[in-house]
Amino acid sequence: MVGAGPAGLAAALTLQKESVTCAVIDYRRENVFKPGESLAPGANFILDKLGLHKIAASGFHNAYVGNNVVWGGTTPHQRYFLNEPYGNGLHLNRVVFENQLLETAVERKITLFLTYQIKEITETPDKILLECFSPSGDFTTIEADFILDCSGRAGIVAKKTGVKRTALDNLVSYHFMIKQPETVLKGMTYIESVADGWWYMAPVNDGKMVVNFMSDSDLHQVKSELLQDWLRQKIRQTQHFSALIPENAFDTLVHSGIKTASTSLLDVPGGNRWMAAGDALCSYDPLTSFGITNALTGGYAAAKAITGLLNGDGTAATDYLSKQMALFNKSVVMLQNQYRQEQRWADLPFWKRRH
């Protein structure tokens, strides 16, 4: 596996359970903030499959009980997960969650190369070779029968093999983390559409809250040093978020940044001895809430496909990729339907592109 995120570690845990020897390669930066903290109820199924059910009860994550949405009108609408077969979701402490996945991999004795980067990938008639190096200059060559690219949007293996990526939009997340105001209902994700995008807010562990403004990068030329002041101004323009986030919110700022959030996919999903999973294969608009769940389920499904390949099932990889592409295409249709429900600004660039 290339990538020690949710997809890569889900795949490694699955292969280990299938008695397939594997290793995870990732130049990992520890405790780096990542937006993407809402884990929908359906993810409980895959957490159980991976033997990770204890994560929900670890005390590091909060229950995700429903959504409070202002979309297509000015009135908030609440939807709770009361009838979900898998119960509530989770608002993750993302750094802790990924560390928990990694700790599980260590406990299960999966080989990890967490300080190595891939310099070269060479395919021979019966093997694929990965030439890797560490920050200290140490080199090692890893021989494998197959590579699974789980390196997220970076698509490291895909790039090394000359495969390009197509983005269907240029959505970005302007995000920040602050201490949670008392006005915010615990367990709820908040969404509010505005003229040039939409806002998203979720409470996370330790009394903090993650806030995202989702819009297209070409609509806002924001310098990083001016991001906080710009976000303050943008919040004041909202109808509901402005009441939820106090004026002094940025006095408790923990983090802020800008991150790509586009819907995208590889032009070619794999090769003779490699294929991609999770965001490395296709990335989803955060409005779908597919991100982390897809990474976990995609990693699991890819590992099952690799097991099938190694056991002589010649259609295992193509079956896996066909299902992943079918899910991606279905999500694009669902996304279009969701965006079309907001018609108040149909003639403005952000919404016109999505109608």
Model confidence pLDDT, tens digit, residues 269-292:
999 899 999 999 999 999 998 889
Model confidence pLDDT, tens digit, residues 154-181:
999 999 999 999 999 999 999 999 988 7
Q: How close are the terminal C-alpha atoms of the chain, in Å?
A: 38
Is residue 176 a contact partner of residue 256, using CB atoms and an 8 Å limit? yes
> Which positions ≥6 away from 30 have C-beta within 8 Å?
99
pLDDT at 180: 81
> Which positions ≥6 away from 103 have C-beta within 8 Å?
none
Distance separating alpha carbons of residues 251 and 162, to the nearest angstrom: 46
Alpha-carbon dihedral of residues 173, 178, 182, 186, nearest 10 degrees? 50
Two tokens at 278? Answer: 């999770």
Helix (H, G, I), strand (E, B) or coil at 190: strand
- Does residue 35 register a pLDDT over 80? no
Pairing state between β 66-70 and 77-80: antiparallel
Model confidence pLDDT, tens digit, residues 70-119:
999 999 999 999 888 888 999 998 889 999 999 999 999 999 998 889 99
Q: How confident is the model at residue 138 (pLDDT cuts 50, 70, 90)?
A: confident
Is residue 284 a contact partner of residue 294, using CB atoms and an 8 Å limit? yes
pLDDT at 31: 64
- Does residue 302 register a pLDDT over 70? yes
User: What is the average pLDDT across 15-40?
Assistant: 85
Q: How confident is the model at residue 121 (pLDDT cuts 50, 70, 90)?
A: very high
Distance separating alpha carbons of residues 355 and 352, to the nearest angstrom: 5
Distance separating alpha carbons of residues 96 and 98, to the nearest angstrom: 6
Cross-strand partners of 78: 68
User: Phi then psi for 25, rounded to 5 degrees?
Assistant: -115, 125
pLDDT at 111: 94
Higher pLDDT, 307 or 115: 307
Single out the residue of 135, 123, 114 nearest to residue 160, CA to CA: 123
Model confidence pLDDT, tens digit, residues 250-272:
888 888 999 999 999 999 999 98
Pairing state between β 208-216 and 255-260: unpaired
What's the mean per-residue pLDDT of the chain?
92
Distance separating alpha carbons of residues 339 and 347, to the nearest angstrom: 13
Q: How confident is the model at residue 15 (pLDDT cuts 50, 70, 90)?
A: very high
pLDDT at 30: 65
Distance separating alpha carbons of residues 279 and 3, to the nearest angstrom: 11
What does DSSP assign to residue 108? T
What is the CA 289 to chain-centroid distance, rounded?
9
Distance separating alpha carbons of residues 187 and 274, to the nearest angstrom: 40
Q: CA 107, 112, 114 angle in degrees (round to 5)?
A: 120
User: What is the average pLDDT across 308-332?
Assistant: 94
Based on its alpha-carbon atoms, the radius of gyration of the chain, rounded to whole angstroms, reads 21
Two tokens at 290? Answer: 């597919």
DSSP 244-291: HS-TTGGGG--EEEEEE---EEESS-B-SSEEE-GGGTEE--GGG--H
